[in-house]
Chain A
């Protein structure tokens, strides 16, 4: 699982000597030096540059002034970053023991996509879906003819589990020097699913992933229809019934689970959009007013739920009936559909989508009215909608992938035009109160590590258990459901420097690839640190757990790091009945007390800003 670096579990007994054996004493000094005095520290870089993007900094200009004072050469952020990058590279010329980088090393074996066999059972990760009669339905990798045979084996094994009525439906394959592989089966008669993974995922993670794939099938077909199809004929070939869209969506989901940055699945929570309390309140009020107004006019129950969701599946606002909430899985499915279908959706286009929410009612369909919130640049007034097609389109298209969406959910399949009207009223209201602008800004910028007084921390995820939502500092270009959009905002994260890559401007695809690798690395690290404090059933090891994990290497050059830099990564997982915190420190930061202080600072900060970070109740009617 782990390649070069040694992996230390700090909370175990043997760990402390190892840790103290490192050259810790002089190590902490570079950390506290500010960027102005020592550019090699990256911890505080972002704090001295304000990106104009900080929702919590009311007057970003103050920060800008500071930055420009410190670096009188130029106030251009890009230029500054460029300079910093160069100074980063100076590390290579004068390596001096541990240095802090804002890149985290690859802690896990990474696959080489070129060398990976295209066979049906690559070691990394594979999903299969088949019918209980053994007919293949879907596989993530592999050609049909190769998969066919395997499906037979899967079918046999699954039946073995069934006949012997075992509780556990998994096989762990380790030995013969090969990488440990987990095989997990779930039987959702008439559907069988299997996952193969050689990563640090737990059996519980894998069965949840399979459950999500199964939920997709239900969401598009409904349990009732699925059962009916197979009762008629047990050896029904579901592939004939599913369409290209379904296979694309399944592939997309698998990709997103396997190679994307997707804490949603790992945590079983929704990512929440960070917004001012008053803004969120105003959005909720706008939604509530128009829905209630419409309720009076037409019959009750036209609108069941209302949602505003920002790119990346970030929840912005929720409108719901008292006493009812939608299940996280249902919302994940909906968001995944919205953002998979997003590219095709134009500003003035509205979708009417029948969808079955498996956790809400697995045998019936609800109908979703979906429209994109227009970018605030092109303010549409209600009387202009007819002429809307004449507005310049090019501008819209550029931002199209990053605009939020409004979703209104109804139980009535005929209520499109009513929902359309309500939707238009809500949008007009949001536009006239310039809330749209704020939603859009929030979805683009979020918060960064610099907003929180927590040193050494590279990145963290904080989940509020009560709200079943999580937040994390902005990851540039993060987009869970839509891998494409990658705008030109440069990120200190994505930059990855080697000697031979001196130039600052690089082809977009290259940066994107780097970013993907970075996210992938981050995701695997989070999965690993979470699974260290979670048992195989997905429950925390204790009511409260605090656990450090440290990776250190002996100075061998690591993939993704400047030469001469060694791996020394400290991570922390902290689970309590109210929250879960996972954090990854900068490479080289190994002062556990300081990290713990930072963790406390993050928890304090998240609690203090709870109203901004989470959708607490939503608009209830």
Chain B
């Protein structure tokens, strides 16, 4: 089974753990304690677009608190995907999310990493749209500029959560597939070269000396 590392980043209490919990257990806990340090867990996912493909996400659910920020590189290093979460009712959390995106782009090679911007707590705006503080359009434009995936979700109702992971799953899978196709092509060429070369050099050790 293909394994992918996924990290959740974002300001504290935007609902990172709740999104993971919704994804992994499909349930919601109203009174969740905030995460301290980071939590590691894994979850398998069947891809809808690719039949018979199941991938496994190894998820780092990090604490949003500023004081743990220095530990973040450990979690996003070698990650295949990052979920940068903000709270649609807290404009400050989008600013924080943007700074995470910057940091990811700066520290991790852009082409290797699938970044998804996620606006959470959509359920709060359903009845009363005045609660919403971050305009969906603004966030979407930002995501497009930065070439990020973008979703608005509600971990509480579950709306949109599964789609995030499906989309990320497909994206990382496709990247991996093209990458491995390229590398197998590369590898199949390599032995061919060696075989061609072997008779000509005769001595395999000579090249190393």
Chain A residues proximal to chain B, CB less than 8 Å: 220-221, 225, 241, 243-245, 248, 337, 340-341, 343-346, 348-355, 367-368, 385-390, 393, 413-414, 416, 420
Choose among A245, A340, A355, A414 the residue with the greatest number of B CB atoms under 10 Å from its CB.
A245
Docked CA distance A352–B37 (Å): 6
Docked CA distance A236–B40 (Å): 34
Q: Verify A386–B44 contact, CB threshold 8 A.
A: yes
Docked CA distance A343–B32 (Å): 8
Chain B residues near A420: list those with CB within 8 A: 40
14 more A-B residue pairs beyond the given contacts A350-B39, A352-B40, with a C-beta to C-beta distance below 8 A: A221-B67, A241-B66, A241-B67, A243-B34, A248-B34, A348-B42, A349-B39, A351-B40, A354-B37, A354-B68, A354-B71, A386-B1, A390-B44, A416-B74
13 pairs from A and B in contact (CB 8 Å cutoff): A243-B12, A341-B35, A350-B41, A351-B39, A352-B39, A352-B40, A354-B68, A367-B37, A386-B42, A386-B56, A388-B42, A416-B40, A420-B40
Q: Is B197 an interface residue (CB 8 A)?
A: no
Closest to B65 in A: A243
Q: Is B127 an interface residue (CB 8 A)?
A: no
Chain B residues proximal to chain A, CB less than 8 Å: 1, 12-13, 17, 24-25, 29, 32-44, 56, 65-68, 71, 74
With A346-B24, A354-B68: A337-B1 Cβ-Cβ less than 8 Å: no
With A244-B12, A413-B71, A413-B74: A349-B40 Cβ-Cβ less than 8 Å: yes
Chain B residues near A413: list those with CB within 8 A: 71, 74
Docked CA distance A225–B65 (Å): 15
Closest to B3 in A: A386
The residue that B33 contacts in the complex, of A225, A340, A390, A416, with Cβ under 8 A, is: A340
Closest to A393 in B: B25
Docked CA distance A204–B191 (Å): 77
Docked CA distance A337–B63 (Å): 15
Choose among A243, A346, A388, A416 the residue with the greatest number of B CB atoms under 10 Å from its CB.
A243
Docked CA distance A349–B32 (Å): 15
Docked CA distance A208–B88 (Å): 44
Docked CA distance A559–B34 (Å): 40
Docked CA distance A117–B42 (Å): 48
Chain A residues near B34: list those with CB within 8 A: 243-245, 248
The residue that A344 contacts in the complex, of B32, B44, B65, with Cβ under 8 A, is: B32
Q: Verify A345–B43 contact, CB threshold 8 A.
A: no
Docked CA distance A254–B36 (Å): 19
Nearest CB on B from A390, distance (A): 8
Q: Verify A341–B1 contact, CB threshold 8 A.
A: no
Nearest CB on A from B28, distance (A): 12
Chain A residues near B13: list those with CB within 8 A: 244
Docked CA distance A337–B35 (Å): 11
Nearest CB on B from A114, distance (A): 24
Choose among B13, B24, B37 the residue with the greatest number of A CB atoms under 10 Å from its CB.
B37
Q: Verify A344–B41 contact, CB threshold 8 A.
A: no
Q: Verify B37–A344 contact, CB threshold 8 A.
A: no
Q: Verify A387–B12 contact, CB threshold 8 A.
A: no
Docked CA distance A390–B56 (Å): 13
List the 8 closest pairs (A to B, CB-CB), nearest first: A353-B37, A349-B41, A245-B34, A350-B40, A243-B65, A352-B38, A344-B33, A349-B39
Choose among B29, B33, B43, B74 the residue with the greatest number of A CB atoms under 10 Å from its CB.
B33
Chain B residues near A367: list those with CB within 8 A: 37
Docked CA distance A343–B34 (Å): 11
Q: Verify B36–A337 contact, CB threshold 8 A.
A: yes
Nearest CB on B from A384, distance (A): 12
Docked CA distance A248–B13 (Å): 14
Chain B residues near A355: list those with CB within 8 A: 37
Docked CA distance A245–B56 (Å): 30
Q: Verify B25–A346 contact, CB threshold 8 A.
A: yes
Docked CA distance A352–B1 (Å): 25
Q: Verify A344–B42 contact, CB threshold 8 A.
A: no
Docked CA distance A369–B84 (Å): 25
Docked CA distance A137–B36 (Å): 20
Choose among A368, A387, A420 the residue with the greatest number of B CB atoms under 10 Å from its CB.
A387
Chain B residues near A346: list those with CB within 8 A: 24-25, 41
Nearest CB on A from B5, distance (A): 11
Chain A residues near B42: list those with CB within 8 A: 348, 385-386, 388-389
The residue that A245 contacts in the complex, of B24, B36, B41, B71, with Cβ under 8 A, is: B36
With A352-B40, A386-B1: A343-B33 Cβ-Cβ less than 8 Å: yes
Nearest CB on B from A311, distance (A): 16
Choose among B17, B40, B71 the residue with the greatest number of A CB atoms under 10 Å from its CB.
B40
Docked CA distance A355–B68 (Å): 11
Docked CA distance A420–B35 (Å): 19
Docked CA distance A578–B56 (Å): 55
With A243-B12, A420-B40: A341-B33 Cβ-Cβ less than 8 Å: yes
Closest to A351 in B: B39
The residue that B41 contacts in the complex, of A225, A348, A354, with Cβ under 8 A, is: A348
Q: Verify B33–A248 contact, CB threshold 8 A.
A: yes
Chain B residues near A354: list those with CB within 8 A: 37, 68, 71
